[in-house]
């Protein structure tokens, strides 16, 4: 298809093949949109993608309690894998 386009072939067949390829790509990798073309994901103004998807860092996820125990366990696991 790209060769046809490079050569200037914009026949109905080429245009339809291009529409299908772009549509397939958008279905696989594009945003999920409603009938009006707006993203289905509801996000507040200024909200980051991480916040909208509920992704939090380890620091945000923890209230600070038990951090030492987690770190000790991770150190033990790391030592066990290297031994």
pLDDT digits over 48-75, tens only? Answer: 655 656 666 555 555 555 566 667 777 7
Tell whether 52 is covered by a domain: yes
**pTM value?**
0.38
Tell whether 69 is covered by a domain: no
Tell whether 83 is covered by a domain: no
* pLDDT tens digits, one per residue of 12-49: 999 999 999 999 998 888 777 788 878 877 555 555 65
Does residue 39 sit in helix, strand or coil?
A: strand
Tokens matching residue 16: 């339809």
Q: Name residues whose C-beta falls within 8 Å of residue 45's C-beta, 6 or more positions apart in sequence.
A: none
Tell whether 21 is covered by a domain: yes
Tell whether 15 is covered by a domain: yes
Tokens 């409603």 identify what position? 34
Q: Which of 76, 48, 71 is nearest to 58 (CA)?
A: 71
Q: How many domains would you assign to the chain?
A: 1
Domain residue limits at 19: 2-60
């Amino acid at each position: 298809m790209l060769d046809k386009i490079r050569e200037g072939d914009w026949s109905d067949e080429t245009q339809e093949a291009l529409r299908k390829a772009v549509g397939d790509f958008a279905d696989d990798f594009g945003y999920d949109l409603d009938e009006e073309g707006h993203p289905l994901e509801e996000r507040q103004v200024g909200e980051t993608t991480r916040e909208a998807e509920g992704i939090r860092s380890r620091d945000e996820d923890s209230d600070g309690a038990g951090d030492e125990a987690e770190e000790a366990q991770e150190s033990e696991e790391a030592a066990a894998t290297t031994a």
